[in-house]
Structure 1
Amino acid sequence: MEDSPDNGIDRRSSTRRACLLGARYRVAAGWHPATLVDLSARGCRLRIGEDLPRGAAVRVELSPRGASAPVDLAGSVMWCRLEGLSHQAGVHFDDAPGDLMDLLEAAG
C-alpha cells in the first residue's frame, strides 16, 4: 500500500511524542511484534513487518515499564508504507484512555 498522509501535510490535532517502545498489534487473528515510533493521545506510528490495508481495524497493545497491566488500544489504519526493510503504519485510536500520555511519561 502506498497511501500516505495528505502529501506530507500533518493533520494531527494533538502533539505526538517520539519514542521507541516495544508493542504488539493484531489485525485479524494472532499478535505480531511492532515498534512504537511515535505516539499522541489520538494515534501512533508503528514499525511493522507487513503491509496493512487502509481502514483496517487494528488492536495495539503497549506495555510501558512500571505499568501494572498492558494498555490495549483499538483503532484503524490511516496509512501504511514501505520504509527501508519494514513498513510503517499510522493508526488512529477509536477511544484512547485520557491518561495514556501520563502513563507513558511515568514509564519513560
Structure 2
Amino acid sequence: MTAAWLRPDTFRRVVGFLSSFAQMPGGNPYPATIPLVPRRPLRIFLQAGHRDLRWNEPHHNWFAENLRVAAALAEAGYDLRLVLGDGGHTPNHAGVLLPDALRWIWRPTGD
C-alpha cells in the first residue's frame, strides 16, 4: 500500500494480504493521515486474519491495525474491499482469495 500511497501516479491498485501496518517504523501513519489529505485514485483490496500476529494484545496488533486502516479508507470514500478471516499469519486464506482479489482489483472502472 505504501508504494501506491506515495506514488498514485504509478500504482493505483493495491492487494494487501496480512498487511504489516503494525510493524511500520514509528507506528501506523495511515489512520491519522488518510482523512487529512485529498483522496487518491486508488482501488484497495485488503485481507486480515482474526488471529494474525499479536491478535490478543493491545499494541502492535496486526488485525486491529488492518481494521483501523480499512475504516479510515472507507470513511474517506476509497474504492475498498476488506475480507476478514479466522486464520492466523499464514498464506492459506490469501491463496483462496487471490483469484477473486485479482478479478475485483482489475474490474472495469465504474463497476
TM-score by length of 1: 0.23
The structure where strand makes up a greater share of residues is 1
TM-score by length of 2: 0.22
Instruction: Report the structure number with the largest CA radius of gyration.
Output: 2
